[in-house]
Amino acid sequence: MRLLLGLLVLLAPLAAPLPAAAQTTDTDTAVALVHSLRDKDPLVRSGAARILAKYKIPESVEALVLAAQDETNDMVKPEIYNALRVTTGEEIGDDPAAWKKWFDEKGGRFEKTISLSARRVLNDYQKFLTISIVFNILAFAGVCAAILYFVGTASNRNKALKELMRQAEQLVAEGNEVQKKSGGILEGLDAKKGELMMFFSKLKDENESEIERYGDMIEQNIEHRMREVTMQLREKAEKELEQTFKELKEEIDGRIRRVSEEHKESMLKELTSRQQRFIADVEAHTLFLEASFFYISGKLQDAVRVYKKLLLLKPDHYIAWNNYGTIMRDLLRFDESEEAYGKALSLSPDNPGVLYQVATVYAMQKKKEKMLETLKRTIQFDPEFKDEALNEKAFKDYWEDPEFKDVAEG
């Protein structure tokens, strides 16, 4: 679990802006950047100081003064002093003692210049995936406990087996609900893709050379760390799973000797089947996270490759089909996009998020009648897509069309 949380922290700097409900305050953002000044990696400390200088966050002055006293890296020091000069408007030089004296005398009071509107990215989604993995592990432990109880109570074997199957069906239903909620988060992320592109375009125009240099460093570090953490997470899960099943098998073998050979074979098959399904679920979560990272990073071909691997492993993953269809749409491969969305709808009929994406594909192909029909069905299931349609670039050519207005504004 710690490895997965570490991965979420690494992904946060590359994430897209979240919807309004997920925005944070200026103070929260300043605190996050101040914490980065204490990071072990000098590149992270240097980048944090550069961002504080760019946005002139008044709340960071005290932390910058303290960081200047403790910093030993010659690459980071100039960035910290520059951030102090830009934020305070003072020209004191590169002497940490002089800055400390100035701050103590002035008491940290000076004219504030500007506040920062910070955005969080995939925190909610990735925390949710973490909870999902932990939930499945706990659920699996509960199933194993039920099996042990069944073996120990030979006189009630049939009744315990029925109860075990009922619990398994309930777990499957809860797992599907988790996938649907995860799908809602990803659909919201996809809807904000246009805003993400505009934000990075504007930021690049303002300071192109700085962004490219810092972005290259971050991308190299993030991609390397993501692959490393993903492999560690997978290896750890497999080792823990192997150890758990080994211990469980030893205990079951001790009790199962009192049961007939027929029941022993049945329970061993059930145990093996559940082990294989659990391993497949862990692999699917890992691939889904990796594919999402590639898509957010703009590496569509890599995302396509990973999604294909995921869908071969878990062909009933409707969220993966939906995301694969979106990538095919972005690559203008409309036939493959429609096929993928069709798979998603067969697994989750009348899902408004998937129907909306199908409507965008029809709009991009100038198939007006199909687009209007699909968009109308989408709004019938979820009226909130009216506002989305009126701001979706895929429908730009139809914004002034009377029939389109009847559907989107009616």
Q: How far apart are the C-alpha atoms of 15 and 298, rounded to whole Å?
A: 11
Q: Give me Rg for the CA atoms of the chain.
A: 27
Tokens at residue 151, please?
């073996």
SS3 category, 356: helix
Q: How far apart, in whole angstroms, are the C-alpha atoms of residue 305 and residue 176? A: 24
Cβ distance 160 to 330 under 8 Å? no
Through-space distance between the first and last CA atoms of the chain, rounded to whole angstroms? 48
Using CA of residue 219, residue 224, residue 229, residue 234, what is the dihedral sign?
A: positive
CA 255 from chain center: how many Å? 43
Walk along the chain (410 residues) and give the pLDDT tens digit of each residue: 433 334 333 343 433 333 333 334 455 666 778 888 888 898 888 898 899 888 888 888 888 889 888 888 998 889 999 988 998 888 888 889 889 889 888 755 554 443 433 334 334 434 554 675 566 678 777 766 767 765 566 556 667 667 877 886 877 787 677 677 766 666 766 667 677 677 767 776 766 666 567 666 756 666 676 677 677 777 776 777 778 777 777 777 777 667 666 676 777 777 777 777 777 777 878 888 888 889 888 889 999 999 999 999 899 999 999 999 999 999 999 999 999 999 999 999 889 999 999 999 999 999 999 999 999 999 999 998 988 888 888 898 898 899 998 888 87
CATH topology of domain 24-106: Leucine-rich Repeat Variant (1.25.10)
> What is the predicted pLDDT for the residue at 307?
93
Phi, psi of 382 (to 5 degrees): -150, 100
The pLDDT value recorded for residue 2 is: 37
Helix residue ranges, H only, 107-156: 123-152
CA distance 358 to 290: 24
Coil, strand or helix: which one is 235?
helix
Residue 147's nearest CA partner among 251, 64, 231 is: 251
Q: Is residue 58 a contact partner of residue 87, using CB atoms and an 8 Å limit?
A: yes
> What's the CA gap between 340 and 321, in Å, rounded?
5
pLDDT of residue 122: 34
Closest CA to 187 of 355, 69, 346: 355
Residue 209 CB coordination number (10 Å): 8
Helices (H), 89-122: 96-106
The CA distance from 82 to 91, in Å, is: 10
Q: Is 35 exposed, middle or buried (0-12, 13-18, 19+ CB in 10 A)?
A: exposed
Judge whether 313 and 346 are in contact, CB under 8 Å.
no
Domain ranges of the chain: 1-22+120-300, 24-106, 315-410
Residue 28 has a pLDDT of 62
Is there a contact between 409 and 390 (Cβ–Cβ < 8 Å)? yes
State which fold the 315-410 domain adopts.
1.25.40
* Three-state SS at 90: coil
pTM (two decimals) = 0.38
Q: Which amino acid is at 71?
A: E
Query: How far is Cα of residue 329 from the mean position of the Cα atoms in its chain?
Result: 21
Query: Greatest CA separation found in the chain?
Result: 86
Rounded to whole angstroms, the Cα distance separating 149 from 144 reads 9
Tell me, what's the pLDDT at 121? 34
> Which residue has 């098998």 as its token pair?
249
Task: Determine the number of helices (DSSP H) and then strands (DSSP E) in the chain.
Answer: 18, 0
